[in-house]
Structure 1
Amino acid sequence: MRDGKKTVLVINGPNLNLLGTREPEIYGHETLADVEAAGKKQGNEYNATVDFFQSNWEGAIVDRIQEARTDGTDGIVLNPGGFTHTSVAIRDALLGVSIPFIELHVSNIHAREEWRHHSYFQDKAKAIIAGCGVQGYEYAIDLVIKKFPVKE
């Protein structure tokens, strides 16, 4: 909790900086900037802080998760992108900070290629949101704000 407000950290993995232009038939036309603006507005409506971080680099994501351990983050929304299927390092970072998190995917990974069906996060996430388009971010942020406990 920061400044008396619940704090949500939204982390976006590789290629999500291309949201809105990369395969819009799968991911839609809204950009990451659109998602961030909507998330910050949503946070303001609930007197919460919503921070965003995006990186194409696994180590930068691990560093940001570790930083969340001491910066007042109450819950994490993670769209790991391609790291969903490969990153033990991000999984270990999440387990190491003991901050509850939601796994988020813009597309329905279970309706896509077989190799996309496995997630290194699914058994530790408090919830998984997939296939709702960018509206999934709204659902995930709402869940963290309303249901996750405040970090002491």
Structure 2
Amino acid sequence: MSATAQSRARTRAFARVIGPWLVIVPGIIAVRAPDMGPLAADFFASPLTVWFAGALLLSGGLPIIAFHQYWSSAAAFVISLFGWFLALRGVVLLAAPQLIERGVAVSARMQWLVQIGFGIGVLIGLWLTYVGWIAKPDSSPENGVP
């Protein structure tokens, strides 16, 4: 599927927002992994906080789904997948928060795995930041740059 100029511009715009976010938030979680267990316990202690977080995740994912259904380059694929991930995670937090709470409890005992996982998120964020802010727009989507 070839990308249009509009889809490449939209991918670049989303990369400018999602890239830095993925550098900052997962980066802080990776560095603060030892502190995350107690924070998660406090988070899940308040059903209203969990519900509100689920609503925010869903609200963050739906605009990406609505305005970025492009799969023509690696960056477009990652951005679209990220929107679906946010929305689905939001729905799970709203409908079945105990599933995420169990996953968080298990991961709290494996900090190294948390750090690796969120470290991968940081690397993806650095790449998307490059795609959105630094790379020259290209008419060919094969190189992963919109």
| TM-score w.r.t. length of structure 1 | 0.28
Greater Rg, structure 1 or structure 2? Answer: 2
- Higher relative contact order structure (alpha carbons within 8 Å, sequence separation ≥ 6): 2
Higher helix share: 2
